[in-house]
Amino acid sequence: MMAHKSTLERSLQAIGFEMLALVLVTPLFAWLMGTSLTSMGGLALANCLVALAWNVLFNAGFDRVLSALGWEKTARVRVGHAVLFEGGLVLVCIPLAMAWLSLDLWAALKLDVGLNLFFLPYTYLYHWLYDVCRQRLAGQA
């Protein structure tokens, strides 16, 4: 079993997650929503700041629960991780999108569904690849 991640490592992991997400999401969703890169970039950045804090807190808690239960990070556990992580963001991000882009609830919900369709596999893949790379680097040390 790998050593637990430090707060610094968790923070760097979360920052990498959000930076890559900004690069991928901003142009794609500006195009899909027919809005400017500036408007979508501002909303994406605000969402990333919220998600950054959630990422560090959620992942620390999730790892503690896994450890307490003696569970490994199987594919099923990773799917649960991604669903719970993204589900937690919905409570803040929909009202934020409504205010930022002057959307009604239906448009904000559609945007959020689209973002979740992107972020569910992205969250799974990013954290899986991070853990694979971390394990390989630790094996070389």
83-128 confidence digits (pLDDT tens): 898 788 888 889 999 999 999 999 999 998 898 889 889 999 999 9
The b/e string for 24-43 (b: 16+ C-beta within 10 A; e otherwise) is: ebbeebbeebebeeeebbeb
What are the backbone angles phi and psi of residue 73, rounded to the nearest 5°?
-85, 75
Q: With respect to residue 30, please indicate whether it lies within any of the assigned structural domains.
A: yes
Q: With respect to residue 67, please indicate whether it lies within any of the assigned structural domains.
A: yes
- Rounded to 5°, the CA angle 19-125-14 comes to 35
Give the pLDDT confidence score for residue 2 in this predicted structure: 65
**Locate tokens 């991000």: which residue?**
93
Q: With respect to residue 1, please indicate whether it lies within any of the assigned structural domains.
A: no
Q: With respect to residue 62, please indicate whether it lies within any of the assigned structural domains.
A: yes
Contact 119, 21 (CB under 8 A): yes
Residue 65 confidence class, pLDDT cut points 50, 70, 90: very high
pTM, two decimals, is 0.69
Give the pLDDT confidence score for residue 1 in this predicted structure: 58
Q: Give me the number of domains the chain comprises.
A: 1
Q: Is the pLDDT of residue 74 over 90?
A: yes
Contact 77, 40 (CB under 8 A): no
Q: What is the pLDDT of residues 12-32, one digit of tens each?
A: 998 899 899 999 999 999 998
Structural domain that includes position 45: 7-136
Q: With respect to residue 123, please indicate whether it lies within any of the assigned structural domains.
A: yes
* Count of beta carbons in the 10 Å neighbourhood of residue 47: 23
Give the pLDDT confidence score for residue 54 in this predicted structure: 83
Q: With respect to residue 132, please indicate whether it lies within any of the assigned structural domains.
A: yes
Residue 51 confidence class, pLDDT cut points 50, 70, 90: confident
* Coil/strand/helix, residue 36: coil
Give the pLDDT confidence score for residue 141 in this predicted structure: 59
Q: With respect to residue 2, please indicate whether it lies within any of the assigned structural domains.
A: no
